[in-house]
Amino acid sequence: MCIFTFFLTNGPHLAPLIGGFIAQNLSWRWCFTIPVSKYLPGYIQLATFAITLFCLPETIYSRKTINTATYRENSYVDLLVFKRSVLPGRKLHLADFGRSLYMLKYVSIVIPDLYYMTCFGYGSVLFAVTGSHLFSEFYNFDVAQIGLMLSISLLIGCLIGEANAGWLVDWMANKYAKKHDGHRKPRLGWMQFGLHF
C-alpha cells in the first residue's frame, strides 16, 4: 500500500522536476507536446494504460455468505485475466464501474474524501501554483530552479512519511494493545496535537 500511495501522490511532484528543465531549454509548449506529440503520439499515456491494464489485478469484491461461498486457489495471473473471473459465479457488470460513486451516499466515505481533497489541494496544488510565482518574484528563481524547489523537497518528504507511516502506526497500535490487555481500543488522544494546527 505504501508503494502505491507513494507513486500516486508523487506523480505531481515529479512533473516539475522534469518539466522545469524542458520548459527552460525547449519552451513551455514542449511540456504539453512531449507526452502527446506528432512524433510520439500518446506513447506515455499508452504505456501507463498498458501497465495499469496488465499489472494491476482485478479488485472487484463480491460478498458471499459462508454457506454459499466456495474457495479455490488463485495465482497472481488469475487476478489479471479477464476471461475467467476469480469470483466463482460472478461476472463483470456495467454497474461495477459506478460502484465507487454509489459509495458517496455514506458519510463515512464523504468525510475522508473531503479531507483528502482539501489537504491535497491546499498542500500540493495551491503551493505549486502560487509558489512558482512567489519564488520567481522574490528570489529570482528561473524555471528549472522552481521545478527543483517544487519537486525534490516534496519527493523526499513523501518518501520519508509514506515509507514510515504503515509500520509506525502498527507499532504504536501494538504497543498500546500490550499495555491494555491486548485490546486496540480506538482513542482520540493523539488527535489533540493535530487539532492545534
At 194, list the grid cell: 493535530
Max CA separation in the chain (angstroms): 69
Query: Measured between alpha carbons, how far is 149 from 127 in angstroms, rounded to an integer?
Result: 11
In this structure, are residues 10 and 124 in contact, taking their beta carbons and an 8 Å threshold?
no
pTM, full prediction: 0.54
Query: Measured between alpha carbons, how far is 48 from 86 in angstroms, rounded to an integer?
Result: 24
**DSSP letter at 87?**
S
144's enclosing H/E stretch is helix 143-179
- State which amino acid sits at residue 26: L
Query: Measured between alpha carbons, how far is 28 from 22 in angstroms, rounded to an integer?
Result: 7
- Write out pLDDT tens, residues 168-185: 878 888 888 888 777 776
Query: Measured between alpha carbons, how far is 91 from 4 in angstroms, rounded to an integer?
Result: 27
Number of domains in the chain: 1
- Write out pLDDT tens, residues 7-62: 777 777 777 888 788 888 888 777 766 655 555 556 667 787 888 777 776 666 66
Q: Report, as an integer, the average pLDDT of 114-135.
A: 82
- Residue 101 is part of which domain span? 2-195
Query: Measured between alpha carbons, how far is 131 from 172 in angstroms, rounded to an integer?
Result: 36
In this structure, are residues 78 and 84 in contact, taking their beta carbons and an 8 Å threshold?
yes
